[in-house]
Structure 1
């Protein structure tokens, strides 16, 4: 006997809406193709607007900024000679790969999986749901490991506890995808988005730095909020709708940690504490080796400036310590193979980065970003909205949430949107860190309700282990309550954050400091 969840109340209009989203999304080209096409569009637009004599006055310098055409001999020479430098200098590329190489060791040796299992196994039953949601949030530290490992683990945990496995799957999926940007630790997505933001912000302020911890304070608070809201939605809506599981699948007991795994975790804790002690010694003691003698503060320390290195190094050291203790590392080849596998999996991203780098370079060379930012800021000023950061940021949240239904990649969307919104809002006095934070709210909340999510078919496969032939409608009926609740409550958190004037992260206020 198999069980199907009670059907959700869905109108034919809603089904048509979902079908429209799917059709529109399928019409979009591959992100790499999209950026190649946009690069061509930028070249053509630069020629058109340059011929029209379009220009603006830079508000900071008072100098005219004309649109520069690339459709001429000089532009051709620039594109020919800067192809490779554009790619190599693309801010997110080196950042992401460097972080991933370190974290790959922790993932490959089994540290991330063992750590998540330990958290769940050590938790009282009443804390099972928040731990599953929070575990999904934490899984972002291992890139996409949460989709592959933690979502089915959430279903297995609930099943073993006598609860409906699809409720556990939904709670884990909500944490992994719906809480995509929330976390208490920094990960590769923080570095990736910060690099894109920095490149966009440089249009207004050349040389500006946006560090990967730019939204950390806000996202730590968001991780607590998303855990609470995800728990409430699971208990209030999802489990009552699913009822008691009566399917044929038998519970699979969650295996306790083996002696090797426990020893690996002990080695990891020792190594991480030792490394953290070294960092604290270098940043908090007078004359510490990680402090800048010209500005001996934590925010100006080389720990913050070299955060990419420390993300890489923490992942590497923690993974090595676990692998040695758990005996999952036999020699250096095991470590290098783990790094190779993770970097190989980034092949499509590297291809996309190549075309995105050309698009971003052309966009900056032509001054289209500056012109659009100044013109857009002028429109907002004419509407008397420049003094309403809440209204501005909520507009960006909703816009991003809608776009996310058809373009799933966080980096692809932000590469498109950052060159427009970051400079425009900066010219109104708002920090790039605030704009990035608003984007991350909208980018997360609708991940779980779009069939265009690249992991959506995988999640359906996991669900079919317990309820055969689970369809998109069944999954959407479970995930829509999470998406709506996350969007509402996370937006309210952002509104409160702005109203209280709290910094988004270390050294990242809501407004721009004077030059």
Structure 2
């Protein structure tokens, strides 16, 4: 059956999105244009005296004209610090050290090929997706590490490597609020929820597990949903890959033995870190609370730990398989890996300036508050309120990438409002987290979209943002529909969202 017979409308729609997106300027130029738009917007908003009241502090937030003398000085003097302090930059470059040696030594290729040789094909894709979903407990590492690995897997399976990049990115950022593990995201959300609820009930106490039942169930559900979109939309749409294929010959015994030693070294390394984490007085636990996740050395060092977990087996494999025969080989592999990040580094410079201008101008918080006030004025409840709030959070997510920053603004408005309507803060928090997640794959303010483009250019130098966004859009649409329906069913049944997290306030 031809794809056009059954999916003609879908393909035509996505082709339109792709063509429109590909007409956009190069991402570097696009960020420069956005910088200009923000500067112009700050001038207009500042001249008109646009402002909004922050419900969290009562402070009036006023738009700042960045084209004033003071603004221009700030732009000129802080451009370097904007770039150097851009959070994902250091993380990406450090992680690429580990990924680079694992990739260039042949460890990734051999490991993926071995998995494909011994594992049923039907299991591989769901496993990758599930790893992406639960990987958000490690913070920002997921969208950096998993997409290039998934691309290699799909390549080996005979699919277009873009399908792996798209699928893994959608899993790591689109299902960000689904997990079977509790992490920093839960703690951050609960903290702002508690503050918002205490505006009405000073004795209210939130806990990080109050959404756990729902997010754990969501992790399983969304694994199947993302798998379904990948199989029915992404893979057929991308078709076959015309680039040079990897060697499909069976692995020889030398590579199999090298892989075995590399995997053993990975387990030993992981065991070393577990020894520092598992005991009650573990060195990497929070020294005051003994927590593993909250303000602990473990979470503070998670990116470097992941780097080591890739670096060690990559090095061991290279030494055993003789792909690393000298220090020059070792240094060359690391240099080659880092050289692929050149375009991303340039993108980061302009992306960092754009996001800094948006923050300095106060346009983001003002737009978020205005949008929240608009929904509050609609005076709706029940299912329409659920859908409206999720959509609002998703739209705001297109403007402000930080989940905690958005919730810091929205929680003091919507948590009290929902409490007056009889809903528990845990329910409001979960609605926000769904809205904050489903639009992540297509939001331009996440710094990982340019990184995804950098990964994609390894397989096709001519790929543009339109191709990525058009293939990510189906995930955002389906995630919104399915996840919203899921919370509505949960709502109708009146099931608790987690321990201490009912839907309705108790009388």
User: TM-score by structure 1 length?
Assistant: 0.65
Cα distance between partner residues in 1 of 2:6 and 2:248: 35
- Contact kept, 8 Å, 2:441 with 2:472, in 1: the verdict is no
2:90 matches 1:94: yes
Pick the aligned partner of 1:272 from 242, 250, 266.
Answer: 266
Cα pair distance change 1:391/1:23, threshold 3 Å: same
Residue correspondence of structure 1 range 448-463 to structure 2 within 5 A: none
Residue correspondence of structure 1 range 256-405 to structure 2 within 5 A: 256-300=250-294, 301-384=296-379, 390-392=386-388, 394-395=390-391
Cα pair distance change 1:111/1:374, threshold 3 Å: same
Cα distance between partner residues in 2 of 1:414 and 1:261: 48
Cα distance between partner residues in 1 of 2:479 and 2:486: 10
- Contact kept, 8 Å, 1:93 with 1:353, in 2: the verdict is yes
Give the drift of 1:87: 0.8
| Aligned residue pairs, count | 424
Q: C-alpha offsets along residues 204-260 of structure 1, whole Å, 9 cap, x if unaligned?
A: x9xxxxxxxxx9999997775566457778999999x9xxxxxxxxxx995333222
Give the drift of 1:359: 1.2
Q: C-alpha offsets along residues 25-56 of structure 1, whole Å, 9 cap, x if unaligned?
A: 23312222222122222222222222222222
- Contact kept, 8 Å, 2:394 with 2:437, in 1: the verdict is no
Cα distance between partner residues in 2 of 1:218 and 1:147: 27
Pick the aligned partner of 1:33 from 29, 33, 37.
Answer: 29
- Contact kept, 8 Å, 1:290 with 1:303, in 2: the verdict is yes
Pick the aligned partner of 1:72 from 68, 80, 90.
Answer: 68
Partner of 1:154: 157
Cα distance between partner residues in 2 of 1:107 and 1:493: 39
Cα distance between partner residues in 2 of 1:40 and 1:422: 27
Partner of 1:60: 56
SS in 1 for 2:71: helix
Q: Which moved more, 1:379-388 or 1:320-329?
A: 379-388
- Contact kept, 8 Å, 1:104 with 1:338, in 2: the verdict is yes
SS in 1 for 2:52: strand
Computed over aligned residues only, the root mean square deviation of the Cα atoms, in angstroms, reads 5.1
SS in 1 for 2:305: helix
- Contact kept, 8 Å, 1:136 with 1:173, in 2: the verdict is no
Cα distance between partner residues in 2 of 1:341 and 1:392: 48
Q: Structure 1: which 5+ runs fail to align?
A: 156-168, 206-214, 242-251, 404-412, 447-452, 462-471, 504-508
Cα pair distance change 1:479/1:438, threshold 3 Å: closer
Give the drift of 1:482: 8.8
Give the drift of 1:434: 7.9
Pick the aligned partner of 2:166 from 156, 177, 184.
Answer: 177
Cα pair distance change 1:220/1:260, threshold 3 Å: farther
- Contact kept, 8 Å, 1:445 with 1:486, in 2: the verdict is no
Residue correspondence of structure 1 range 243-262 to structure 2 within 5 A: 254-262=248-256
SS in 2 for 1:59: coil
Q: Structure 2: which 5+ runs fail to align?
A: 133-142, 196-210, 237-245, 416-424, 444-451, 462-466
Partner of 1:128: 121
SS in 1 for 2:61: strand
Q: C-alpha offsets along residues 307-328 of structure 1, whole Å, 9 cap, x if unaligned?
A: 1111211111121122222222
- Contact kept, 8 Å, 1:46 with 1:366, in 2: the verdict is yes
Q: C-alpha offsets along residues 118-159 of structure 1, whole Å, 9 cap, x if unaligned?
A: 222212xxx32232554577697755535753333212xxxx
Cα pair distance change 1:21/1:85, threshold 3 Å: same
Cα distance between partner residues in 2 of 1:319 and 1:436: 36
SS in 2 for 1:269: helix
SS in 1 for 2:287: coil
Give the drift of 1:490: 5.7
Cα pair distance change 1:19/1:298, threshold 3 Å: closer
Cα distance between partner residues in 2 of 1:219 and 1:114: 34
SS in 2 for 1:182: helix
Cα pair distance change 1:377/1:424, threshold 3 Å: farther
SS in 1 for 2:55: coil
Residue correspondence of structure 1 range 420-459 to structure 2 within 5 A: 424-427=409-412, 428-429=414-415, 438=435, 440-444=437-441
Cα distance between partner residues in 1 of 2:4 and 2:252: 41
